[in-house]
């Protein structure tokens, strides 16, 4: 299966590129955001898509409706299968993200294996991109989520 599994980034109209404003001196922010992302990804892994939606940033919830989120997540993640392992391969703080207002963001990329993609070789590679934003309350919230397979070659539509 050659695919990209677009999630909230489709609804938000975002293209994912390397963050231009990445800075190395925000270790505490990165660690706090990683903890929030881990908790949120537990909801995704448990197929609790309604709860994952409720836990996303206000901006994202304004961009995509709950029913649409659940439909996209159900369709695309059913094609990925159950996550077996997740390893963080990148976590950076940045003050900018494509098509987003200036703010505090943490971009996390993970490598995952699933029951449908058990091999982590380059030809069967699955990865996730989780972007978090610090909201006005100071809390980190998931801003967007993307899963890609096989080096992001063709789009995979929800099944």
3-state SS class at 9: helix
Tell me what pLDDT residue 44 has: 95
Per the CB < 8 A criterion, the answer to whether 94 and 105 are in contact is yes
Tell me what pLDDT residue 81 has: 87
φ, ψ for residue 71, nearest 5 deg = -65, -45
Q: What is the DSSP string of 27-72?
A: HHHHHHHHHHHHHHHHHHHTT-HHHHHHTB-HHHHHHS-HHHHHHH
pLDDT tens for 46-87 read 999 999 999 999 999 999 999 999 999 999 888 888 999 999
Tell me what pLDDT residue 121 has: 61
Domain over 3-151 is classified CATH 3.30.300.30:
no
Tell me what pLDDT residue 144 has: 94
pLDDT tens for 17-39 read 344 444 456 899 999 999 999 99
* Average per-residue pLDDT for the chain: 80
Greatest pairwise CA separation for the chain in angstroms? 42
Closest C-alpha to 84, from 123, 36, 117, 59? 117
Give the model's confidence band at 133: pLDDT under 50 very low, under 70 low, under 90 confident, else very high: very high
Share of the chain above pLDDT 70, in %: 75
Q: Measured between alpha carbons, how far is 106 from 97 in angstroms, rounded to an integer?
A: 9
Question: N- to C-terminal Cα distance for the chain?
Answer: 13
Closest C-alpha to 144, from 10, 54, 28, 34? 10
Q: Measured between alpha carbons, how far is 30 from 18 in angstroms, rounded to an integer?
A: 16
φ, ψ for residue 7, nearest 5 deg = -115, -120
Which residues, listed in sequence order, are joined to residue 23 by a DSSP beta bridge? 93
More confident residue, 126 or 13: 126
Tell me what pLDDT residue 109 has: 94
Is the pLDDT at 131 greater than 90? The verdict is: yes
pLDDT tens for 86-99 read 999 999 999 988 88
3-state SS class at 105: strand
Q: Are strands 105-114 and 22-23 parallel, antiparallel or unpaired?
A: unpaired
């Amino acid at each position: 299966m050659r695919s990209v599994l677009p999630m909230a980034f489709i609804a938000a109209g975002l293209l994912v590129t390397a963050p231009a404003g990445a800075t190395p001196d925000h270790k505490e922010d990165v660690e706090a955001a990683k903890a929030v992302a881990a908790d949120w990804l537990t909801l995704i892994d448990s197929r609790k898509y309604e709860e994952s939606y409720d836990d996303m940033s206000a901006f994202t919830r304004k961009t995509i409706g709950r029913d649409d989120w659940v439909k996209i997540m159900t369709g695309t993640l059913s094609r990925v299968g159950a996550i077996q392992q997740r390893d963080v391969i990148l976590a950076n703080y940045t003050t900018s993200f494509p098509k987003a207002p200036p703010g505090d963001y943490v971009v996390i990329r993970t490598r995952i294996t699933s029951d449908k993609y058990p091999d982590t070789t380059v030809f069967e590679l699955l990865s996730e991109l989780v972007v978090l934003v610090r909201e006005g309350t100071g809390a980190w919230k998931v801003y967007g989520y993307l899963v890609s397979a096989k080096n992001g070659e063709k789009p995979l539509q929800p099944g």
